[in-house]
Chains A and B, each alone.
Chain A
Amino acid sequence: MKKAGSPACKTGMIQYRTFASMHSVLDMIFPGLADKAADALFKKIQLEAHVLENLLSDYDPSAETCFLNEKAHHQWVPVSDRLWDILTECRHFYSLTKGYFDIGTGWHKKEFSGTTGASVTGVRLLESDERQRRIRFAAPEIALDFGAIGKGLLLRETDKLLTQNGVENCFISFGGSSILTRGHHPHGNHWPVAFRSPSDMNPVFQMNDDFASFSQGTPEGMNATAHIVNPYTNQTEGNFRISGVMAGCPVIAEVVSTALILALPDEAALLAAGFRLKKAFLTGRDNTNQPVKEFYYES
């Protein structure tokens, strides 16, 4: 622990703002920012979160994704330009992660009485009409779920707003699993972000203008909170793996941390090599409660 004596960060000089979004909470700390500037920035970020939720929510009936999940089975449905771009980006990530990152497996949030086998779901069965920018699902079990990338998308937009507003130093946590940092901690030359791990691997990310994403599987018996679907088995992932990724892009951090939870033990290094990452790790236990083959990468 270091202690520094900067008078710039005494009580009252830190702006803290928070709001609920995407079934989580966005916590923002702006050292040294004026109160009014923090308020103005907060409102812009909140507005962007609202826009994205209206686009990506699979619960809100007024959201475009929810509408697509309801209507796009065996019929073409037009897609807004912004969602089209996100879908295109997600398909790109699907390829780069050998199919582990798949936004087409949202079936687990729905109540299907029929089969949910891997052969009938996934983004590969999402049909696109490039010219008219419309999609349809080739199987009834398909449902779009942007839960693994939504936070990254909002942090990417937030980063743009920070630049526009000249914010030099800040720490933003989205539910504790998606982190955006700018500049440095008021009393250090970086933001030292650690992840509480049950294993001996306790990496500390020294973050400046960076993003980090942490993911973990859901052990058997905790299905109520299961959220990551393995597209190869089409089951919610029952391991207790923990992954962390630090990168220059929040969306890439989200995608890779999710894919690392699902990838086969020997695939982690190869998967990470496909992206421009600063740091990445994988630890925890697998489906049989055995220690996972740990992986640590640093550029």
Chain B
Amino acid sequence: MALTGSMAFLSSSPWVRLWGREEENRTGANDRVRLAVIGTGSRGTELINNLIPVLKDINVEISAICDNFPLHLNSTLELCRKNGINPVPYSDYTHLLEKEKHDGVIIAVPLTGHAQIAVDCMRAGIHVFCEKAMARTLDDVKLMYDTYCETGRILQIGHQRLFNPIYLKGIEKIRNGEIGQIGQMRGYWHRNNNWRRPLPNNDKGLEKQINWRLYKELSAGLLTELMSHQLHVANWALNRVPVSVMGTGSIVYWKDGRTVNDNVALIYSYENGVKFIYDSMISNVKYGLEEQIMGDKATIEFEVNRNYAETPPPVPGIQHLINDIEHDIFDKITVAGSSWVPELASSYKGEPIIEDPDFLDTQLELEGFARFIREGRIPEKMVLDPYYTSIWTLLGERAIDTGLQLSMPAKYLVS
């Protein structure tokens, strides 16, 4: 089967290559994957929008949608119908589980709802794709992982960078030793907005339902919603789990009644001495977001698709001479002048990690979910890494709250 676009990207991903065979042309009705989407707020709608263009190609059906907030449910139902999709709407996910059998569910509800819904779905025999972070509490994260082990159902967490070709190629470079020994990793995510969603009809009673990210009982704020992505990248790059975390945080700018910090800084330490130094804030956007993996041979910056060699590659004139010698050619060596561009160390702009960054990683991860459902299994690393990322994200919150340098309690060790 000739593969194009995102299908080609997916087929080249190591998670799919792991099983050593290409996707067969499964276009029949019996091969169709039936997905239900639980949680149709902004993230759930975005996931559906990513699925709609590829539903036919990947032979997936959105069979049901569910939300306990009627406004979200109705608007998503309308979106589906406009695109020729007729999912059954539910306002209670337990009814969705009782009424019909789905192959998989996509969970995009607020963080505090992840664990119960995911566990119930897996126990009902349904494969689960759940948005990150996994859960609001350490015990709920562990419960999700234990249920995955007990039921044998798929538990995929929404770390879409796992399917991003830039990250996959960058990790390949790291594994191949191209950036040398990693000495330090840095990550940051800066925004300049209040992170609030408007309340329907300005109904103050909906504040915590809509703006759940701002309240500590419902979210760890910047840590679970932003940092977890980047901590996952750091763990993936180093292929290790942290051994300790220390951190600090405060509400510096948005003193509007929220209870989560708008400014955090943490240091994760690994057994080999490497540190992941992280900060996040939402009152300045100059530096945006990045994950920097610094080796003794090169630095990778994933978000901007760059690889910066510590020793810059030869300038064009030198490269030309090397090529000539290698190909037994004796030709003049043109130096200086307009054809010669000396690369000053300070102005070295690095090289792209991949040449054609034209893809949607969220779409790729959802295609991956359908693929895993057909296989009936998911690579263990795709569950373990998100598990430890969620555990260490919440330990980061605890470190900030206590002012202590923390290690992981033994009861959360699963491998």
Chain A residues within 8 Å of B, Cβ to Cβ: 1-6, 9-11, 14, 16, 18-20, 23-25, 27, 29, 31, 171, 173, 175-177, 179, 185-188, 191-198, 204, 214, 216, 242
CA of A188 to CA of B324, assembled, Å = 12
B342: A residues at CB distance < 8 A: 24-25, 175-177
Identity of the chain B residue whose Cβ is nearest the Cβ of A194 in the assembled complex: B332
17 contacts between A and B (CB under 8 A): A1-B330, A9-B325, A10-B326, A14-B322, A16-B318, A18-B318, A25-B315, A29-B325, A171-B333, A173-B335, A185-B330, A187-B325, A187-B329, A192-B332, A193-B332, A196-B337, A197-B337
Please give the distance in Å from B150's CB to the nearest CB on chain A: 55
A20-B312 contact in complex given A10-B326, A171-B321, C-beta closer than 8 Å: yes
- Chain B residues within 8 Å of A11, by CB: 326
Q: Does B338 contact A (CB under 8 A)?
A: yes
Tell me if A's interface is mostly helix, strand, loop or mixed. Answer: strand
Within 8 A of A (CB), among B338-353: 338-346
Determine whether the beta carbon of B328 is less than 8 Å from that of A177: no
Report the minimal beta-carbon distance from A30 to chain B, rounded to whole angstroms: 11
Give the residue name and chain of the B residue nearest to A24 (CB).
Answer: B342
Q: Is the CB of B326 within 8 A of A3?
A: no
Task: Decide if B331 touches A196 in the complex (CB within 8 Å).
Answer: no
Cα-based distance from A3 to B322 in the complex (angstroms): 14
Residues of A within 8 A of B113 (CB): none
Distance in angstroms between the alpha carbons of A195 and B321 in the assembled complex: 14
CB distance A4 to B328 under 8 Å? yes
CB < 8 Å neighbour of B334 from A10, A24, A185, A196? A196
- Given A25-B315, A175-B342, A188-B330; A193-B322 close (CB under 8 Å): no
Instruction: Please measure, in the bound complex, the distance between the C-alpha atom of A194 and the C-alpha atom of B211, giving whole angstroms.
Output: 66
* Given A187-B329, A192-B332, CB of A16 within 8 Å of CB of B340: no
B314-A195 in contact (CB<8A): no
- In the assembled complex, which residues on chain A have CB atoms less than 8 Å from the CB atom of B339? 196
By a CB distance below 8 angstroms, the chain B residues around A10 are 326
Contacts of B330 in A (CB 8 A): 1-4, 185, 187-188, 192
Assembled-state Cα–Cα distance A175/B314 (Å) = 11
In the assembled complex, the CB of A41 is this many whole angstroms from the nearest CB of chain B, namely 15
Q: What separation, in Å, do the CA atoms of A18 and B346 have in the docked complex?
A: 15
A9 in contact with B335 given A25-B312, A25-B343, A29-B318 (CB within 8 Å): no
Closest CB in chain A relative to B328 CB, distance in Å: 6
For the complex, what is the distance from the CA of A214 to the CA of B340, rounded to whole Å? Answer: 12
B336 interface hit (Cβ, 8 Å):
yes
Cα A185 to Cα B322 with chains together (Å): 11
Flag whether B317 is at the interface (Cβ < 8 A).
Answer: yes
Q: Which residues of A contact B335 (CB under 8 A)?
A: 173, 176-177, 179, 193-196, 214
Docked Cα-Cα span, A242 to B325, in Å, equals 28
- Across the interface, do A3 and B333 meet the contact criterion of CB distance under 8 Å? no
Of B325, B344, B346, chain A has the most CB atoms within 10 Å of the CB of: B325
In the bound complex, do residue B317 and residue A24 qualify as a contact, i.e. CB atoms below 8 Å apart?
Answer: no
Q: In whole Å, how far is A8's beta carbon from the nearest beta carbon of chain B? A: 10
Q: Give the residue name and chain of the B residue nearest to A177 (CB).
A: B336
> B residues 291-341 with Cβ under 8 Å of A?
311-312, 314-315, 317-318, 321-322, 324-326, 328-341
Contact (Cβ within 8 A) B344 A29: no
A186 to B337, CA, bound (A): 25
CB-based contact B311/A3 at 8 Å:
no
Across-interface contacts of A193 in B (CB, < 8 A): 332-333, 335
- Assess whether B321 is in contact with A29, with CB atoms less than 8 Å apart: yes
Residues of A within 8 A of B311 (CB): 18-19
Complex alpha-carbon distance, A216 and B324, angstroms:
27
